[in-house]
Structure 1
């Protein structure tokens, strides 16, 4: 941030109306304001003060060849001044977006910033006090090593016994294997190690997918060839493999195996409509929730709806993307909505394993956040936003439709649009978090949040979340942002 406050001493060929965009980490493009031209209303320019540091007094103009070097940044060549004089007086453009990146949030060019009303008061400067507040919240959200070890050991014991029991049965699920997913294994779990997601993956013979109503995410599953003795034969409805029937049998077997566990207090919770998980409740003595999710593993090519998804070429690289798309993909028994109910035959695509890889290998530099490497604030911003949504949901039932997956998806898009590690330096935490808030607000306003792997699947469509709920969340986030997050003071 120091670099973004120091004045350049290059000749003043640039018009006064054209000012370079202030950026995190001094890179060519700071976190974009979701497509707006100019700084967001309420966000206040960082020209005067950033993170509580006073603005520097303008210096006397130095000799042309004596311009001081900016740390972690490079000054534009002096010849840029001549070219700048010919350009119209508009903010400098952001770097070209990845051609495969989904358009997550757009706004009309006439609107500025992240305010929902023109007369709403401006947000305060990002002061040192606010940065300290965010650091205090992050410290409070850290998982304690001792608690984590106890919880993880208990969960591993239960899961191991379930896998052993399924393997010893002569059933359709005797070949299941464990695949750890979710926030705990992505190292973005907050508050307490009390929720775990575990996939029980089951490889299936060659399957054929039929997209359900152009959704991109939901599919009907057929077998290309049904040999005699197919163990999944009695889950078929015609040629279609029924997700509901298969999940029901899976739940029944899990319940039977849980009853065999005598030395741990574990029970199976009631089935939730539309949920693909069998949820276990472990008392250890604190309650731990474990979602056991049945997943069909397919080693074929990823479906056509994912072709333009996973836009990490300019961030993690084309080679990484190619290798990730060679991995298997998974189908979980999550039913598509059908009227007021669910279509019981449908399966939903899942890329939890790929998301875990990205979150654990998120930097353009291989040593980002590793021992001896530079720490970035990517995951810190994700944790803060997850916590903000979690606290708001605890207070307002109008927000039940939202979940942490919405936050993670929006953050993946934000990382894609701002790929450089220097744009996420930890010293810029309050600035980066504020820009992400603006981005998420814009997604709510435009009712558009594209699935990261399936661009045509809009997670904020009105079929999934009504407009009133999105407007309610938007106002609550704006209130917290404009008033220095009073909800954080309640933890």
Structure 2
């Protein structure tokens, strides 16, 4: 047109033809991720920019000299009762997979399985419409979930307590416990000076599945007592008063100067039953007494069924018994100062009868360190910020929860496993944490490997019939007197079956 100057076409430099990047369904996740790691250049609307190098080539890593697999036998010096701290074997640092699903912090809303970051690519600039953002096929995402690592993470998501259920259950339990405690303090009885102490898996933040079981201690301080060890067990004691002042409310529980655990628990149960009858606005009852149990169990049936174990405990602020001298082996883990500080805390005695043949000794009390266990589980890292907000995470508690769930599910199916309990699992993992104190040894990226190592150790404890109490090294929780060999072999078989077949029992809940 007249008056308009025609603009000459701009010259273009010739470029070699770029090969189109193809993503096959059978390609690796790492390859698909690499293929989409570079966005198109401005104006490149008809061609996809090819990244440098071979996108399917995996990086290689050099093995560290002296790297070795963890030897479970190195843990035995702690778990089987040897004094001192177990030798610290090197924990293998395996090469992490190309992409890992993010580890969800404890008590956070679980992420949807489809939301895992399988193949994240950078956002494309506006106008680059011919090159779409690469997405991993659904089959690939599902494949990640079906790996041992992915399956265990999914199990943990199922085991998480729902916040609304936690709040609802805690409100119900707190209301009833507070009422019982208040009424017990206001009546003239031997237990009017009791104080509340929360213990158990719920307060240790390792409760699984549902907040339907709570443990609460009603502690009663007893000054100036003398302990007489029962049959060299280290765990069970007869309790005497060094001096019985006139008007001691516990004096009528004495049998030849011995404070009878069974008599005192029986009176404690009687008072609780009387107070429960006065609670008219809740559907609650006291369950029948279980032989050898130190607890009075309340069953709340409405709106949901909740079990509350109220445990009478004698509190002593004296030095810990001599049987605990070599226990609590945390010097190389949480430190010597921490161990000294914890041993200055009171210890507790619960009315647990020692088993004598097929009967129970009614006068005995058993040592309890549940308050120390709760502290350790909350402060488990060698680094003070482990699992705190803003700190690095570990999978210590995850391994504990998985093993607790495995044992719980097996016990539901097999009566032969009745003798085993979650305390065996907790004791075993405390020994495991002691032998492997570094936080990096419990990296959540290696959850499957850590859990497998724990299973190996637990099975060896069953085979050797040795699992020593964490605070009382000479007290064997897997002794023949407590659990017969047949039951241990049966549990070994069931654990190995689940382990070798990808834990099918986890698919049943």
User: What's the TM-score, normalizing by structure 1?
Assistant: 0.77
Asked if 1:350 is matched to 2:389, the reply is no
Q: 2:393 aligns with which of 372, 375, 383?
A: 375
1:266–1:47 distance in 2 versus 1, CA, 3 Å: closer
Asked if 1:193 is matched to 2:240, the reply is no
SS in 1 for 2:153: helix
Q: 1:457 aligns with which of 475, 496, 499?
A: 475
| 1:299-378 matched pairs, under 5 angstroms | 299-378=317-396
Alpha-carbon distance, 1:34 to partner? 2.6
Give the Cα separation in 1 of the matches to 2:96 and 2:390: 26
CA RMSD of aligned residues (A): 2.2
Alpha-carbon distance, 1:489 to partner? 1.3
Q: Equivalent residue for 1:6?
A: 61
Q: Equivalent residue for 1:395?
A: 413
Q: 2:298 aligns with which of 243, 265, 280?
A: 280
Q: Equivalent residue for 2:490?
A: 472
The one-character-per-residue Cα deviations of 1:455-481 (angstroms, maximum 9, x if unpaired) are 000000000000000000001101111
Q: 2:68 aligns with which of 1, 6, 21?
A: 21
- Which one has a bigger Cα radius of gyration? 2
Alpha-carbon distance, 1:157 to partner? 0.3
In the TM superposition, structure 1's runs of 4+ consecutive aligned residues that sit over 3 Å from their partners are 46-54
Q: Equivalent residue for 1:252?
A: 270
Q: 2:464 aligns with which of 417, 434, 446?
A: 446
Q: Is the 8 A contact 1:441 1:474 kept in 2?
A: yes
Q: Equivalent residue for 1:242?
A: 260
1:53–1:444 distance in 2 versus 1, CA, 3 Å: farther
Alpha-carbon distance, 1:50 to partner? 6.2
Q: Is the 8 A contact 2:253 2:260 kept in 1?
A: yes
Q: Is the 8 A contact 2:221 2:314 kept in 1?
A: yes
The one-character-per-residue Cα deviations of 1:399-454 (angstroms, maximum 9, x if unpaired) are 00000000000000000000000100111100100000000000000000000000
Alpha-carbon distance, 1:35 to partner? 3.5
Alpha-carbon distance, 1:5 to partner? 7.6
Alpha-carbon distance, 1:205 to partner? 2.3
Q: 1:168 aligns with which of 172, 176, 186?
A: 186
Structure 1 unaligned residues grouped into runs of 5+: 23-30, 38-45, 55-125
SS in 1 for 2:72: coil
Q: Equivalent residue for 1:154?
A: 172
Give the Cα separation in 2 of the matches to 1:8 and 1:471: 38
Give the Cα separation in 1 of the matches to 2:366 and 2:389: 38
Q: Equivalent residue for 1:33?
A: 72
Give the Cα separation in 2 of the matches to 1:293 and 1:203: 14
Structure 2 unaligned residues grouped into runs of 5+: 1-58, 77-90, 100-143
| 1:220-231 matched pairs, under 5 angstroms | 220-231=238-249
Alpha-carbon distance, 1:8 to partner? 4.9
Q: Is the 8 A contact 1:218 1:348 kept in 2?
A: yes
Give the Cα separation in 2 of the matches to 1:233 and 1:274: 23
Give the Cα separation in 2 of the matches to 1:398 and 1:8: 45
Q: Is the 8 A contact 1:236 1:242 kept in 2?
A: yes
SS in 2 for 1:150: helix
SS in 2 for 1:188: coil
Give the Cα separation in 2 of the matches to 1:205 and 1:433: 44
Instruction: With a CA cutoff of 8 Å and minimum separation of 6, indicate the structure with the bigger relative contact order.
Output: 1
Alpha-carbon distance, 1:47 to partner? 9.5
1:227–1:143 distance in 2 versus 1, CA, 3 Å: same
Q: Is the 8 A contact 1:337 1:343 kept in 2?
A: yes
1:7–1:302 distance in 2 versus 1, CA, 3 Å: same
Q: Equivalent residue for 1:117?
A: none
SS in 2 for 1:279: strand
User: What count of residue pairs does the alignment treat as equivalent?
Assistant: 393
SS in 1 for 2:441: helix
Give the Cα separation in 2 of the matches to 1:8 and 1:245: 64
The one-character-per-residue Cα deviations of 1:243-268 (angstroms, maximum 9, x if unpaired) are 00000000000001111111111110
SS in 1 for 2:332: coil
Q: 2:428 aligns with which of 400, 407, 410?
A: 410
Q: Is the 8 A contact 1:51 1:128 kept in 2?
A: no
1:312–1:230 distance in 2 versus 1, CA, 3 Å: same
Asked if 1:481 is matched to 2:499, the reply is yes
Give the Cα separation in 1 of the matches to 2:190 and 2:239: 16
